[in-house]
Amino acid sequence: MKTLWGGKAALMIAVFCFVSLVPAVRADILYDYNSHYTGSFSPFEFQFHASDFLTVTTSIPLADITVIQNPSSPPGCALTGATLVDPGSSSFSVGTFWSAGCPFNSGNAPFNDGPAVSDGIHTIANSITLTISGSPTTTTAPEPSSMLLLGTGLAGVIWRKRVR
Protein backbone atom coordinates (compact mmCIF):
# COMPACT_ATOMS: atom_id res chain seq x y z
CA MET A 1 0.00 0.00 0.00
CA LYS A 2 1.38 3.38 -1.03
CA THR A 3 1.26 6.35 1.33
CA LEU A 4 0.54 9.99 0.54
CA TRP A 5 4.19 10.79 1.15
CA GLY A 6 5.44 8.23 -1.40
CA GLY A 7 8.24 8.93 -3.87
CA LYS A 8 6.38 11.20 -6.33
CA ALA A 9 4.70 13.36 -3.69
CA ALA A 10 7.97 13.84 -1.81
CA LEU A 11 9.73 14.80 -5.05
CA MET A 12 6.97 17.30 -5.87
CA ILE A 13 7.26 18.93 -2.44
CA ALA A 14 11.06 19.14 -2.75
CA VAL A 15 10.75 20.80 -6.18
CA PHE A 16 8.19 23.27 -4.78
CA CYS A 17 10.48 24.22 -1.90
CA PHE A 18 13.36 24.85 -4.31
CA VAL A 19 11.29 26.83 -6.86
CA SER A 20 9.45 28.93 -4.25
CA LEU A 21 12.71 30.30 -2.89
CA VAL A 22 13.72 31.96 -6.17
CA PRO A 23 15.02 35.43 -5.29
CA ALA A 24 12.87 38.42 -6.20
CA VAL A 25 14.57 41.77 -6.85
CA ARG A 26 13.33 44.85 -5.00
CA ALA A 27 14.92 48.26 -5.12
CA ASP A 28 14.71 51.16 -2.73
CA ILE A 29 15.99 54.32 -4.37
CA LEU A 30 16.25 57.63 -2.46
CA TYR A 31 15.86 60.95 -4.27
CA ASP A 32 17.05 63.97 -2.23
CA TYR A 33 16.33 67.48 -3.60
CA ASN A 34 18.21 70.27 -1.83
CA SER A 35 17.90 73.93 -2.79
CA HIS A 36 20.59 76.26 -1.47
CA TYR A 37 19.22 79.08 -3.60
CA THR A 38 19.06 82.35 -1.64
CA GLY A 39 17.11 84.60 -4.02
CA SER A 40 13.45 85.26 -3.22
CA PHE A 41 13.23 81.87 -1.53
CA SER A 42 15.11 80.53 1.47
CA PRO A 43 16.75 77.09 1.32
CA PHE A 44 14.57 73.97 1.43
CA GLU A 45 15.03 70.21 1.10
CA PHE A 46 12.81 67.20 0.52
CA GLN A 47 13.20 63.47 -0.16
CA PHE A 48 11.15 60.67 -1.64
CA HIS A 49 11.67 56.96 -2.24
CA ALA A 50 10.91 54.99 -5.38
CA SER A 51 10.83 51.24 -5.89
CA ASP A 52 13.23 51.57 -8.83
CA PHE A 53 15.02 54.28 -10.78
CA LEU A 54 12.38 56.56 -12.33
CA THR A 55 12.68 56.67 -16.12
CA VAL A 56 9.46 58.49 -17.10
CA THR A 57 7.81 61.70 -15.91
CA THR A 58 6.45 60.95 -12.43
CA SER A 59 4.29 63.03 -10.06
CA ILE A 60 5.13 62.62 -6.41
CA PRO A 61 2.24 63.45 -4.03
CA LEU A 62 2.92 65.12 -0.69
CA ALA A 63 2.05 61.85 1.11
CA ASP A 64 5.13 60.24 -0.47
CA ILE A 65 7.48 63.17 0.28
CA THR A 66 9.53 63.67 3.43
CA VAL A 67 10.06 67.41 3.89
CA ILE A 68 13.43 67.92 5.55
CA GLN A 69 13.21 71.71 5.54
CA ASN A 70 10.41 73.99 4.29
CA PRO A 71 11.54 77.48 3.29
CA SER A 72 11.30 80.03 6.12
CA SER A 73 10.78 82.85 3.65
CA PRO A 74 8.51 83.89 2.20
CA PRO A 75 6.38 83.09 5.29
CA GLY A 76 3.58 80.55 4.84
CA CYS A 77 5.21 78.63 2.00
CA ALA A 78 5.01 74.86 2.20
CA LEU A 79 5.73 72.17 -0.35
CA THR A 80 2.58 70.37 -1.58
CA GLY A 81 4.03 68.06 -4.26
CA ALA A 82 6.75 67.51 -6.84
CA THR A 83 7.27 66.11 -10.33
CA LEU A 84 10.36 64.53 -11.85
CA VAL A 85 10.08 65.48 -15.53
CA ASP A 86 11.69 63.32 -18.23
CA PRO A 87 14.47 61.82 -16.05
CA GLY A 88 15.71 59.69 -18.95
CA SER A 89 16.86 62.70 -20.99
CA SER A 90 20.06 64.70 -20.68
CA SER A 91 18.01 67.77 -19.67
CA PHE A 92 15.49 66.65 -17.05
CA SER A 93 13.81 68.87 -14.48
CA VAL A 94 12.22 68.82 -11.04
CA GLY A 95 8.96 70.69 -10.63
CA THR A 96 7.77 71.81 -7.20
CA PHE A 97 4.27 72.80 -6.09
CA TRP A 98 3.60 75.19 -3.21
CA SER A 99 0.82 76.11 -0.79
CA ALA A 100 -1.55 79.04 -1.22
CA GLY A 101 0.57 81.15 1.15
CA CYS A 102 3.39 81.41 -1.41
CA PRO A 103 3.64 84.25 -3.94
CA PHE A 104 3.78 81.56 -6.65
CA ASN A 105 2.23 78.09 -6.83
CA SER A 106 4.93 76.17 -8.73
CA GLY A 107 8.60 76.17 -9.65
CA ASN A 108 10.81 74.33 -12.09
CA ALA A 109 14.51 73.46 -11.76
CA PRO A 110 16.08 72.40 -15.09
CA PHE A 111 19.10 70.10 -14.82
CA ASN A 112 21.36 69.73 -17.86
CA ASP A 113 23.64 66.98 -16.55
CA GLY A 114 21.29 64.01 -16.98
CA PRO A 115 19.99 61.51 -17.40
CA ALA A 116 18.85 60.90 -13.82
CA VAL A 117 18.36 57.15 -14.02
CA SER A 118 21.19 55.91 -11.79
CA ASP A 119 23.10 56.84 -8.64
CA GLY A 120 24.66 60.28 -8.77
CA ILE A 121 24.55 63.96 -7.86
CA HIS A 122 23.04 66.43 -10.32
CA THR A 123 23.67 70.15 -9.80
CA ILE A 124 22.41 73.51 -11.06
CA ALA A 125 25.08 76.22 -10.62
CA ASN A 126 26.03 74.98 -7.14
CA SER A 127 22.69 76.15 -5.76
CA ILE A 128 20.37 73.14 -6.26
CA THR A 129 21.27 69.47 -6.07
CA LEU A 130 19.38 66.27 -6.77
CA THR A 131 21.13 63.29 -5.19
CA ILE A 132 20.00 59.83 -6.27
CA SER A 133 21.21 56.87 -4.22
CA GLY A 134 20.30 53.28 -3.65
CA SER A 135 20.65 49.92 -5.27
CA PRO A 136 18.51 46.89 -5.95
CA THR A 137 18.38 44.42 -3.08
CA THR A 138 17.51 40.77 -3.43
CA THR A 139 14.86 39.28 -1.19
CA THR A 140 13.54 35.74 -1.08
CA ALA A 141 9.82 35.46 -1.73
CA PRO A 142 7.61 32.61 -2.92
CA GLU A 143 6.51 32.98 -6.52
CA PRO A 144 2.70 32.89 -7.08
CA SER A 145 2.96 30.36 -9.91
CA SER A 146 4.85 27.99 -7.60
CA MET A 147 2.09 28.24 -5.02
CA LEU A 148 -0.48 27.46 -7.74
CA LEU A 149 1.58 24.48 -8.90
CA LEU A 150 1.84 23.12 -5.36
CA GLY A 151 -1.88 23.54 -4.74
CA THR A 152 -2.82 21.83 -8.00
CA GLY A 153 -0.37 18.97 -7.36
CA LEU A 154 -1.60 18.38 -3.82
CA ALA A 155 -5.23 18.51 -4.96
CA GLY A 156 -4.40 15.88 -7.62
CA VAL A 157 -2.66 13.61 -5.09
CA ILE A 158 -5.59 13.86 -2.66
CA TRP A 159 -8.16 13.29 -5.43
CA ARG A 160 -6.26 10.25 -6.72
CA LYS A 161 -6.01 8.79 -3.20
CA ARG A 162 -9.79 9.22 -2.68
CA VAL A 163 -10.62 7.58 -6.03
CA ARG A 164 -8.72 4.44 -5.02
Per-residue pLDDT tens over the stretch 89-110: 999 999 999 888 787 788 888 9
**Same domain, yes or no, for 38 and 60?**
yes
pTM, 2 dp: 0.64
**Same domain, yes or no, for 109 and 77?**
yes
| pLDDT exceeds cutoff 60 at 24 | no
- Better pLDDT: 69 or 16: 69
Q: For residue 77, give its domain range.
A: 25-139
Report the chain's mean pLDDT, rounded to a whole number: 78
Cβ-proximal residues to 81 (8 Å cutoff; 6+ apart), any chain: 59, 60, 61, 62, 65, 96, 97
Q: Across residues 141-153, what is the average pLDDT?
A: 72
